[in-house]
Structure 1
Amino acid sequence: MTLGERIKYLREKNGYAQKFVAEKIGVRNNTLSSYESDKRQPDYDTLQKIADFFEVSVDYLLGRTDDPSPKEDKKMNLFFYDGLEGYDDLTPEEQKAFREHMYEEAKQAIELVKKLKKK
């Protein structure tokens, strides 16, 4: 699917009119229409607004992944990596793999705490 097809799919899936979505993301109705028909591409800020509105990742909109799940950053906002020695030296792909691993570790820790609370 193209970017425009994904935007249109998400809009229709949620039962939204173009005018409603356009207002929510701060563009004119004909601008959203041109995005959906792939006649025009949104700038990065608008792309981010579209992703936030539909609660999907920019990567999903751009076709880099078929997983429309919410942005990873929203799931990971409880972790603070600033100042973590070596984190900034990782490539973006390595950072993503690290965050995914830490997310899974955190989920397991939560389950362990829940089990311990029951005892």
Structure 2
Amino acid sequence: MVNKITFAMRLKKLREQKRLNQTELANLLKVSNGSISKWERGDRQPDYETLENIADTFNVTIDYLLGRSDSKQEFNESQMNFSTPQEALSFILKQDMVADFGGYDLDNMSDDEIMEMADDIADMLKIISRKHK
């Protein structure tokens, strides 16, 4: 069962983070403007196929949309095969638990803010490494 309030809030937040209005999202999903409005008010819920399309559009899991998980993406071990240190750092910074821990919103951060976040993470790692020597 869809948690109507969580779904409505998360859909609206994701739409706003991508700077889409309801009409633009409706066009992407090939649904009516009224559908988006009703979903965001919690008056109706999309069918399963549309729910999959919403998840794909915003690159999140269906469980996240439905409020069954706070993680936007599934963890996949194949994502942990890095060819370069830059790939490894990019992976770390994009993990929701890392970004959310510091209150960071990676979708809306400037380069300077990303550098500040990396410094914060480095400081945390220094503290952790001292405890585990």
Residues 65-117 of structure 1: per-residue CA shift (max 9 Å, x gap): 11113xx3xx7xxxxxxxxxxxxxxxxxxxxxxxx5xx17x73xx45x77xxx
Please show how residues 79-98 of structure 1 align to structure 2 within 5 Å. none
Match of 1:33 among 34, 37, 42: 37
Residue 56 (structure 1) aligned with residue 50 (structure 2)? no
Residue 65 (structure 1) aligned with residue 59 (structure 2)? no
Q: 1:26 offset after TM fit, Å? A: 1.1
Counterpart in the other structure of 1:16: 20
Match of 1:44 among 45, 48, 51: 48
Percent identity (aligned): 40
Q: 1:13 offset after TM fit, Å? A: 1.2
Q: For 2:34 and 2:27, locate their aligned partners in 1 and report how far apart those are by CA, in whole Å.
A: 11
User: Partner amino acid for 2:58?
Assistant: F
Structure 2, unmatched stretches of 5+, are 85-133
Which portions of structure 1, spanning 4 or more consecutive aligned residues, are displaced by more than 3 angstroms?
Answer: none
Q: TM-score, normalised by structure 2?
A: 0.54
Q: 1:35 offset after TM fit, Å? A: 0.5
The CA RMSD measured in Å over matched residues stands at 2.3
Q: 1:19 offset after TM fit, Å? A: 0.3
Aligned length: 81
Q: TM-score, normalised by structure 1?
A: 0.60
Q: 1:2 offset after TM fit, Å? A: 1.2
